Structure 1
Amino acid sequence: MDLPRDDRTLSPHTGYTRAHWEAAADALLAAVEPYATEGRALYHFPGDHGSWSGRLSDGLEGYARTLLLAAFRRDETALQRYADGLAAGVSGVWPRIEDRGQPLVEAASIALALRLTRPLLWDRLDDRVRQRAADWLGDALTAEAWPCNWELFPVTVGGFLAEIGHETEESRKAIDRGLERIEDWYVGGGWYTDGDGRKYDYYNGWAMHLYPVLHAWLAQDERLLDLYGGRLSRHLEDYARLFGGDGAPMHQGRSLTYRFATTAPLWLGALTGRTPLAPGETRRLASGALKYFLERGAVNADGLLTLGWHGPDEAVLQGYSGPASPYWASKGFLGLLLPADHEVWTAAEEPAPAERTDAVTAIAAPNWLLQSTSSDGVVRLHNHGSEDVRYDPYYTRLAYSTLTRPAPAYDNSVILGHDPSRTDIVPLGVGEGWAASRHSAGGGARVTSLVLAQGAVEVRAHLVAGAEAGTPVRITGWACRDGVRAEIRPVAGLANDLTGATGDGPTLFVALARLTAEPDPAPLGGLVTVRVDDEGTIHVRWSDGREIRARLADGDGVSVRA
């Protein structure tokens, strides 16, 4: 991908400017064009991994998601190609929008793109094409959505159809129904769960906030914009901390193949004026993420986004991932809706939170503890409250980072016998420098876990109860990779190989851990001292003299005192 020369005056951290974003968008749009079918209604990208929705739906996905990119770019030449594809698609090529079907997802991208570019695309269409397109989209108003972020797709379609005066009553009902539904999942502090349960991930940013805020902004509904924009602004206070100093987003959650779609809520805050971030910080975070992926193989030799994280990687895929799925990354180009003279493009870049200072930040809603170090730009997420309804290594591990990925060998886990499962996670609270939870494991056992953090150092404690005496226990730490030092040492209840066994009652296991990218870090033992007294109280003394006492109790949670 050919990009302009870096501008280290305007963008001292990334070198990227608006021109880089425009060039990247243009390159991505040019690369997909050869894969359009005759009539341009479908885009079939190469690859062996098809989604569970089938080839026709995958082709629609290719059209819809790249159309969204063309809409953000406002490229009239490209939009004319998509206008031709729209006319062909609604003339019998595209599959119908049905209950819980993938076309419902893609209808939202199409409707949003048409709403954003109405004078450039929709208003120039033949009346018959407009009627067929509105009729095709209209099925989204009553289609049953999966009970998660999908509830917002009819909202997005309804917003466009109401604007053009098509099925206005049904459109309003779809909007009200979807917006009412997500209230069930708003938990405060700017965070939603993605449906029932405790599923916290990037869907907060690229779906749960994106669609309501954009709808309110496009509808010029100040009441809704104050509501949803206020939530977005609060979310961004935490969200900005999920990016490493190298631009990497946190490696946690599903659909990670959308990559720099993680930047969408950053741009959305600037676009709507609902953000706590300085303009230069917004662009630094967003450009850092784009650059991170472009420099690490996200785009192949043919200029296509691959199914993966850096390059192709099936480990980050889901059953719904098809060849065109990565093009939800188009949402990352939302910032191109901002005019070139907007301060988010003209202000000098400012450091990201991970670059400014060491910080340990408690996030109450998901019961996460974020631990970042400015010396290496690494951000670590201690997960004591998020899980999917099914086993997923990107939800169930005790910790994630911007440098590492979940390992098949069950990093950051408590393994009872040979069972590494972690289910039924119950958050037990977060506070200054700590987070705790309880989960089920090993056929009925209960594990109460606590992490204490300062700098890059972690004290990890696990109280195992309900397991048969003599059950083997193994504690694992961070996965290793080149250029990264991952350490874990026993403190109590564990041998040097981090294994132990349960006693006749609740048994405490304590370890000291660290993940760092510093080339020559200080010895771990000199940064903290930890001992466990006869009553099971954990005494921690950090190198700055601060002392912490913590105690874990089965059924009674944890207590942490300075």
Structure 2
Amino acid sequence: MSSPLELPGDERQPSPYTGYTRVHWEAAADSLLRAAWRWATPGSALLDLPGRPSRSGVRSDGLEGYARTFLAAGFRVAGAGGKDPFGWLERYAAGLAAGTRTPGRDDAESWPLVLDHHVQGQPMVESASVALGLRLTRPWLWDRLEPGVQDRAEEWLRGALRHTPAPNNWYLFPFTVAGFLESVGRGDAETARARERALELLDSWYLGEGWYSDGDGRAFDHYNGWALHLYPVLDAHLDGDAARSERYGARLRAHLESFGLFFGGDGAPLHFGRSLTYRFAAGAAVALGAVTGHTPLSPGASRRIVSGALRYFLDRGASGREGLLSLGWHGPHEATLQPYSGPASPYWASKAFVSLLAPGDHPLWTDTEEPAPSEGPDRVVALPGPGLLVHSTRADGIVRLHNHGCDHVRPHEGEAGVEDDPLYDRQAYSTRSGPTSAVNTADNHLCVEVGGVQSARRRIRPLGAGQGDGWGWAASWHRPVFPQGAPMVPGLRVESVTVVRGRYELRVHRVAGAPDGARLRQTGWATGPEEPVTSALHPVHGWDSADEVRAPQGTAFTRWALVPRLTADDAGGSGVYAALATLTAEEDPEPLPRTLTEVSVTADGFEARWAADGARTRITFRPLTVELLP
């Protein structure tokens, strides 16, 4: 599907992989803005895009349309040194004046007030985008406003400093508002405290290897790039603060060491975590690293990643027939969304246009595109901090993530009361497949079935991760919980290890304390007729039968899917269960039954030989050790 946006023809000499240059990025920004502004109110304060409203309501959604598109306009105009051929800033200046005239009033233009996150939270998110847009365009917008409009805007923005954010990346919204106010000479003790508090929390959430948890729990996803790294590093860059830039820039550099691998050979980001409707915002951290110099990636590889992600979505219909970004992944997709998503939510994708802060003569734009990390030799990256294992295969460009440490359970929540979250609780995710919906059979999941009720995986406790030459592993344990009011099973515990070599995934589980008559079910990757990929799941030890289960609601990649499944019929007590899984786009892949030989299993261990080279994988659960032996 071609994009309805008005883009120039491909430039394959400088950009042999994507055909996109800086000119394409400017044109994409202008086209997205042009489409969105057709839905502005007469006074330009709200952009009421068509679609189902978010839980915050239509007025908040209209502010979201203004604020998030302002980000794209801000990067576009600031990157062009103030040149604004389509007069975007005049519209945003008029909207700012109209929206802040009588905040909270129920009329055609007034912005909602910024209140506590549990009362009326969404405007706090949007206040950061308004503040960042104003900061980026200060000489051409803010400095030309009447003093009264400036005062009204400040008063509205200060709502973010005086109310309580959500206990996660939201603390960076008042941080960003305060940064703008200080940059225009309106700082005080209130702005200083907002910035100090955000950085205190950010430091407490840092686990190393460039990864932050999104709050006090164990949520690791794309918010690392488009929020937790973006705001502090960009703030320090705009401030010219060398010390802060080095501190938080070093973390961004470490993050990109692994995150650069999170994009497939087709440009797709890993389909993992919430807010995936922000789509090519996933490339924002890569672009920011190139702009600030805090990156291990070459300029050519950085452009390949960010332009690849932009083109991936535009070519697959993300902007729809009218040029508006839809709520979904490729196109509209309800299961990808969260209740806070409204018609303008996808425009957080505007963060990717931070790339335009690199001028036309910057190496990000002048160097020839180079392969992305996933297009080089097969790679495996183990991340013990977040408990993730990532591996890519050059033959098909697929990147796969194995989750042994990320969940979306907050510290104060009990496990049994937390709803199923397919975007966090599955064992594996990829750039070519998405999870099945919560009402279909769960893909990439091990469940214990007791009395006909299947368990869920909620809080995930990492046990370690590591890598060697061409292989890697990650391990975790969880306590199976039973929804629908079913009782917990005392002492029930599942310890899980994933070992990867090339496209092969060895999944080994030690189940302890299962009641008599319990069943186990292990599922693999969900695939369908609309994606030319193959999913296979082979029983190695402990399983009684294999079949396929239909997922009629499909995934973000296919309208209808099949999920391979293994079943152990009488799994009472304790035991070790092993399976071999694969997701590949290779033609005629080697059948999985020929992959492993000489399988040996004990009560606390597993060992098998790889047929291709004779190497042996040995897993011992107590104490946990994972080895690849010659």
Query: TM > 0.5 between the two?
Result: yes
Deviates more, 1:156-165 or 1:67-76: 67-76
Superposition deviation, residue 383 in structure 1: 0.4
Instruction: Name the CA distance, whole Å, in 2 between partners of 1:371 and 1:276.
Output: 18
* Contact 1:467/1:502 (<8 A) preserved: no
Match of 1:5 among 6, 9, 12: 9
Instruction: Name the CA distance, whole Å, in 2 between partners of 1:292 and 1:503.
Output: 44
Asked if 1:481 is matched to 2:528, the reply is yes
Match of 1:517 among 569, 585, 590: 585
* Contact 1:464/1:502 (<8 A) preserved: no
Q: Which runs of 5 or more structure 1 residues have no equivalent in the other structure?
A: none
Alignment partner, residue 260 of structure 2: 240
Instruction: Name the CA distance, whole Å, in 2 between partners of 1:207 and 1:534.
Output: 46
* Greater helix content: 1
* Contact 1:61/1:325 (<8 A) preserved: yes
* Contact 1:98/1:144 (<8 A) preserved: yes
Asked if 1:86 is matched to 2:99, the reply is no
Instruction: Name the CA distance, whole Å, in 1 between partners of 2:42 and 2:303.
Output: 38
Match of 1:440 among 472, 479, 485: 479
* Contact 2:49/2:65 (<8 A) preserved: yes
Q: How many aligned positions are there?
A: 559
CA deviations 1:47-78 (Å, max 9, x no partner) are: 12x11111111111110001111101106311
Alignment partner, residue 500 of structure 1: 568
Superposition deviation, residue 14 in structure 1: 1.0
Q: For 2:60, what is the secondary structure of its paired residue? A: helix
Alignment partner, residue 128 of structure 2: 108
Deviates more, 1:263-272 or 1:131-140: 131-140
* Contact 2:48/2:65 (<8 A) preserved: yes
Match of 1:393 among 412, 422, 434: 422
Amino acid of the residue matched to residue 14 of structure 1?
Answer: T
Instruction: Name the CA distance, whole Å, in 2 between partners of 1:520 and 1:3.
Output: 38
Instruction: Name the CA distance, whole Å, in 2 between partners of 1:317 and 1:450.
Output: 30
Deviates more, 1:225-234 or 1:1-10: 1-10
Instruction: Name the CA distance, whole Å, in 1 between partners of 2:448 and 2:572.
Output: 15
Q: For 2:514, what is the secondary structure of its paired residue? A: coil
* Contact 2:518/2:572 (<8 A) preserved: no
Superposition deviation, residue 359 in structure 1: 1.4
Instruction: Name the CA distance, whole Å, in 2 between partners of 1:196 and 1:37.
Output: 40
Alignment partner, residue 25 of structure 1: 29
Decide whether aligned partners of structure 1 residues 536 and 154 sit closer, same or farther in structure 2, where only a CA change above 3 A counts.
Answer: closer
Superposition deviation, residue 509 in structure 1: 1.0
Alignment partner, residue 151 of structure 2: 131
Asked if 1:409 is matched to 2:419, the reply is no
* Contact 2:276/2:328 (<8 A) preserved: yes
* Contact 1:459/1:511 (<8 A) preserved: yes
Superposition deviation, residue 450 in structure 1: 0.8
Matches within 5 A, 1:286-365: 286-365=306-385
Alignment partner, residue 600 of structure 2: 532
Q: For 1:447, what is the secondary structure of its paired residue? A: strand
Q: For 1:424, what is the secondary structure of its paired residue? A: coil
CA deviations 1:224-276 (Å, max 9, x no partner) are: 11110000000000100110000000000000000000011011111111111
Matches within 5 A, 1:34-183: 34-48=38-52, 50-74=53-77, 76=84, 77-92=87-102, 93-100=110-117, 101-183=121-203
Asked if 1:230 is matched to 2:250, the reply is yes
Superposition deviation, residue 469 in structure 1: 2.1
Instruction: Name the CA distance, whole Å, in 2 between partners of 1:544 and 1:15.
Output: 40
Matches within 5 A, 1:546-557: 546-553=615-622, 556-557=623-624
Superposition deviation, residue 507 in structure 1: 1.3
Alignment partner, residue 254 of structure 1: 274
Instruction: Name the CA distance, whole Å, in 1 between partners of 2:493 and 2:323.
Output: 49
CA deviations 1:7-41 (Å, max 9, x no partner) are: 11111111111111111111101101110001000
Alignment partner, residue 423 of structure 1: 458
Instruction: Name the CA distance, whole Å, in 2 between partners of 1:251 and 1:150.
Output: 22
* Contact 1:436/1:558 (<8 A) preserved: no
Q: For 1:514, what is the secondary structure of its paired residue? A: strand
Superposition deviation, residue 503 in structure 1: 4.6
CA deviations 1:190-219 (Å, max 9, x no partner) are: 110000110000000000001111111111
Q: For 2:15, what is the secondary structure of its paired residue? A: coil
Decide whether aligned partners of structure 1 residues 530 and 469 sit closer, same or farther in structure 2, where only a CA change above 3 A counts.
Answer: farther
CA deviations 1:120-155 (Å, max 9, x no partner) are: 111111111111111111222222111100000111
Superposition deviation, residue 448 in structure 1: 0.6
Superposition deviation, residue 524 in structure 1: 2.5
Q: For 1:405, what is the secondary structure of its paired residue? A: coil
Superposition deviation, residue 535 in structure 1: 5.2
Instruction: Name the CA distance, whole Å, in 1 between partners of 2:617 and 2:594.
Output: 16
* Contact 1:246/1:292 (<8 A) preserved: yes
Amino acid of the residue matched to residue 549 of structure 1?
Answer: R
Amino acid of the residue matched to residue 373 of structure 2?
Answer: P
Alignment partner, residue 396 of structure 2: 376
Amino acid of the residue matched to residue 431 of structure 1?
Answer: G
Amino acid of the residue matched to residue 620 of structure 2?
Answer: R
Superposition deviation, residue 522 in structure 1: 2.4
Q: For 1:506, what is the secondary structure of its paired residue? A: strand
Alignment partner, residue 233 of structure 2: 213
Instruction: Name the CA distance, whole Å, in 2 between partners of 1:466 and 1:535.
Output: 13
Deviates more, 1:62-71 or 1:361-370: 361-370
Q: For 2:461, what is the secondary structure of its paired residue? A: strand
Q: For 1:511, what is the secondary structure of its paired residue? A: strand
Superposition deviation, residue 496 in structure 1: 3.1
Q: For 2:474, what is the secondary structure of its paired residue? A: strand
Alignment partner, residue 513 of structure 2: 466
Amino acid of the residue matched to residue 18 of structure 1?
Answer: R
Instruction: Name the CA distance, whole Å, in 2 between partners of 1:63 and 1:504.
Output: 57
* Contact 2:538/2:592 (<8 A) preserved: no
Superposition deviation, residue 504 in structure 1: 5.0
